[in-house]
Structure 1
Amino acid sequence: MSTNNMSKIGTLTVLALSIAACTSNPNSHSPFEISSEMSGKTETTAERQARIKAAQEARLKAEAEAKAEAERVAREKAEQERLAKEAEAKRLAEEAEKARLAQEEADRIAAEKAEQERLAQEQAERERQEQLAREAEEAEKARLAQEEADRIAAEKAEQERQEQLAREAEAKRLAEEEARKAREAKIADLTKKAQDVGLTAEQTTNYANANADKSDADAKAALDAIVKENRDNKIADLAKKATDAGLPQTQAENYAKAQTDATDAEAKAALDKLVADRQAVKDDLKQKALDAGLSDEQIQNYVAENIDETGQVAQAALNEIVKQNNRVKELVRLAIDAGLSQDVADSLANNNKQATDEAFKTIVNAEKAKQAQEQANALKGEYANNPKNELVNKNFISSSSSRNSFTSADRNHQVIYNLPYSVVVGDYQGAVEYNNQNGQIFTDNRSTNIEVKGLKTAVDALPNEGRATYSGLAFNGTIGLERKQTTDSWGYPSYEYVDVVKNGKLSYTVDFAKRVGFGRITGLGDDIVLDQGSVIDAGISSTAKQSYRSGNYQLSFYGPTAEEVAGKVSFGNKDTVGFGGTRGEITK
């Protein structure tokens, strides 16, 4: 862009900006206004508006001219840049064409050089192939010559080999003929030796043929082995015949060894005598055992155990059996007198022949206790397997609410107290309110039933003197909460509250001499007093009191000799409390 153009753009721009500044501010004074004021003339409104309009039109015209000038300058600049780019592009194209032509010339020269090299290589390959052909022709001639030489040498070698084979075959034939004659001579010798020691014809033939090619020492060892095997087989056969005839193993083996060199008839006669002698001993022992009163089984065992013993040893064994039989009879009498059946008495006596009277009485008492326990379990039925000497609660339907020590519950549940010879089962259904700390019942609207099952003591088995106290547990169907500690999966202690049956303590004293009993239950609220009652038919019944309430109780004795008591307390004609206990020492 020229300097004149730049000067024109600058002047127009300044003039346009000055006019814009004057028209944008109504309070400002244009140059014309200043001139008017300075001349002392007053400008009218119409003149002023005309002046402003003229100024605005001048401004717009100046702006349009400035814009047009700027666009012209820009176009001139763009054209100059375009021409410069076209000149540069033309220069680059000319340089590229020069480079292309130079490359084409270089490629042509390289192609000519490559063609010359290819032709040279083809000429060299033709010369190499011609050389290889000449060498192959010479090698083939040499190979044919070598093959002919090898054929002649092979024919000569084969002829020599055949001659050598013929010589070796003749030598082998002569050696085999000599060996055959020697083998036949040795077989004849071995046959005679085998016949001399008593081998069978088949054994002789087999032995001679099998050892004809062995050394004399090996052949002799083989013959000795056959002789020993024949002797062992005969001993085994004789021993089997003896055991089949009833002789014991040791006697049968001794007989067989003694008859090894005997004829078959001699061996049979010897066996028949041994069998007859043994039968005579057996008959004698059997008669003595029969005379001594032994049972058939004892006779059979006695004879079998003593047939090979001396008469003195056999008689001592018989005396010991008779002594043991007498002892068994005494023990059986003791067991039957103690109340055991004949079969059980026989079994205990036979299994404990060496026991003293006192030791056997202990065994009998243990058996009686076992039978009593089995009988008690059968009478207890489904409750027999419950844990013993603790209260077990079985919930069927249960709902309850508690506040502090007060609980209101509606349950259908069962409380079980299992003792060795008896079980007390309490069935409770319905609503009840109670103190969950001590088990005291406030209101009881339940339907209840308390039943005792087990082995009742026979009337004549009750003690007749002394007094004893029974101790155990009691329940009234109330349930409390107990905090129990457990361990979580990480090994840390944790706590939970579980339902537990509120249990009371029974203490009941029986005077067997006076035939009366009385006691008390604690731990279920106010003490329950069990008034004195009389023993009637292995049981006691009397009145019971708990604070202001009155009722009654009844119990029975359980176990072979009144080892336990078990029963229930009723208030308001309702089974309320179940209890049981085991007897302490009877004091006189």
Structure 2
Amino acid sequence: MPKPISEEKKDMPKPISEEKKDMPKSISEEKKDMPKPISEEKKDMPKPISEEKKPTPDEELAQKIKKEILGKDYPQGLTRNPIVKEVLDNMKSYDVGSSIYNQKYSLLKIEYRSNSLANNDEGNFVNMPRDIGVKTNLADLPTSGNFSYKGVAIDMKGEGVLNYDINFSTKKGKGSVTGLPIGNVELQEAKIGHSFDMKGILFGDAKYSSGEGHYNLNLYGPAGEEVSGNMILNDKNNDLSKNYGLAGSRE
């Protein structure tokens, strides 16, 4: 008698799909199931702190100078310290506050101090922009190229935008300040000179619609990567002068 269909199937060859199940895995498939070697696992691990970018000697020196003078570290960018009351040993009382603009190699500080008692014989306020950090030696400045610096112009309340260009071939710079309540200010061309310690500085005239004045910028960093200084403007309509801090970094 012929075999029933169910028994005939047993003798039939397995289809290709079923035969594959019994075949040994290929080398490429076996690799998927194998644990990663230690060398490959390390690639996925986060880098230890020691391998992260360390500050350069100039950056470390700048941090040290800032902390020694200000007593603490400040974050990069602008920090406003609100005005608070301060009573000195002579019992005179002042309202004091400050604005800080911190860059990699330099820091700009504007301090506000106003007498808050009638018995104080000092002036009503003192607004003092001060820049500190690692200044650039004249010998280390670029000898060619035109570079743009962008940053801020600040006082205790307001903030404008500083744009300044330096042509290191001619050793001259000029720029502008925009966005201040007094209007736009033109920072006229100035030549890189030097102070008594042979550091690079720029000193030039500043003009705006209601008056004129001057500005002073120091160069900071190993090769003039930053500028920081101040701008004093005299209003032709009154005897008041306006004092701003200027700071920016090379783009």
The whole-number CA distance in structure 2 between the counterparts of 1:463 and 1:427 is 33
Give deviations 1:203-225, integer Å, cap 9, x for gaps. Answer: xxxxxxxxxxxxxxxxxxxxxxx
Equivalent-residue separation in structure 1 for 2:72 and 2:247 (angstroms): 15
**Matching residue of 2:230:** 568
1:415 to 99, 103, 109: 99
State the alpha-carbon separation in 2 of the partners of residues 391 and 512 from structure 1. Answer: 31
Q: Residues 430 and 387 (structure 1 numbering): CA distance in 2 closer, same or farther, change over 3 Å?
A: same
Asked if 1:471 is matched to 2:150, the reply is yes
Q: Secondary structure at the match of 2:77?
A: coil
Q: Distance in 2 between matches of 1:414 and 1:548?
A: 27
- Partners of 2:186 and 2:85 in 1: CA distance: 32
Q: Which residue of 2 aligns with 1:535?
A: 192
Question: What is the distance in 2 between the residues matched to 1:368 and 1:463?
Answer: 25
CA shift, 1:368, in A, is 9.6
Q: Among 65, 70, 76, which residue is 1:379 paired with?
A: 65
Contact 2:211-2:233 within 8 A present in 1 as well: yes
1:377–1:384 contact (8 Å) kept in structure 2: no
- Contact 1:455–1:559, Cα closer than 8 Å, also in 2: yes
Cα distance change of structure 1 residues 556 and 368 upon mapping to structure 2, 3 Å threshold: farther
Task: Supply the distance in 1 between the matched residues of 2:223 and 2:54 (Cα, whole angstroms).
Answer: 11
Whole-angstrom distance in 2 between the partners of 1:576 and 1:411: 18
Amino acid at match of 2:57: Q
Question: 2:210 pairs with 548, 551, 554, which one?
Answer: 548
CA distance in structure 2 between the aligned counterparts of 1:414 and 1:565, rounded to whole angstroms: 20
- What SS is found at the alignment partner of 2:248? strand
Instruction: Confirm or deny that 1:456 pairs with 2:105.
Output: no
Q: Distance in 2 between matches of 1:536 and 1:368?
A: 33
Task: Quote the offset at 1:575 in angstroms.
Answer: 6.7
Distance change (3 Å), C-alpha of 1:378 and 1:535? same
Instruction: Give, as a single letter, the amino acid of the residue that structure 1 aligns with 2:179.
Output: G
Once the two structures are superposed, residues 157-207 of structure 1 have per-residue CA deviations (whole angstroms, 9 ceiling, x without a partner) of: xxxxxxxxxxxxxxxxxxxxxxxxxxxxxxxxxxxxxxxxxxxxxxxxxxx
Q: Distance in 2 between matches of 1:477 and 1:547?
A: 22
Relative distance call for 1:453 and 1:417 in structure 2 (3 A) is same
Q: Is 1:448–1:575's contact at 8 Å kept on the other side of the alignment?
A: no
Letter in 1 for 2:170: K
* Greater strand proportion: 2
Relative to structure 1, is the Cα distance of residues 570 and 413 closer, same or farther in structure 2, using a 3 angstrom cutoff? Answer: same
Deviation of 1:505 after TM superposition, in Å, equals 0.8
Matches within 5 A, 1:147-166: none
Unpaired runs of at least 5, structure 1: 1-365, 399-409, 432-443, 479-501
Query: Are the equivalent residues in 1 in contact too, given 2:78–2:99 (CA < 8 A)?
Result: no
SS of the residue corresponding to residue 151 of structure 2 reads strand
Q: TM-score, normalization: structure 2?
A: 0.62
* Alignment match, 1:80: none
Greater relative contact order (Cα 8 A, min sep 6): structure 1 or 2? 2
Normalising by structure 1, report the TM-score.
Answer: 0.28
Return the alpha-carbon distance in structure 2 between the equivalents of residues 397 and 523 of structure 1: 30
Equivalent residue number for residue 357 of structure 1 = none
Cα deviation digits, residues 510-537 of structure 1 (max 9, x gap): 0100111011111112012211100012
In the TM superposition, 1:240-279 aligns within 5 A as none
CA distance in 2, matches of 1:428, 1:522: 23
- The unaligned stretches of length 5 or more in structure 2 are 1-51, 87-93, 116-122, 195-199, 235-239
- Please give the alpha-carbon distance, in whole angstroms, between the structure 2 residues aligned to 1:384 and 1:472: 23
Q: Which of 1 and 2 has greater Rg? A: 1
In proportion to residue count, which structure has more helix?
1
Q: Which position in structure 2 is the counterpart of 1:429?
A: 113
* RMSD of aligned alpha carbons: 2.7
What is the DSSP-based 3-state SS (H/G/I as helix, E as strand, rest coil) of the residue aligned with 1:576?
strand
2:60 is paired with a residue whose SS is: helix
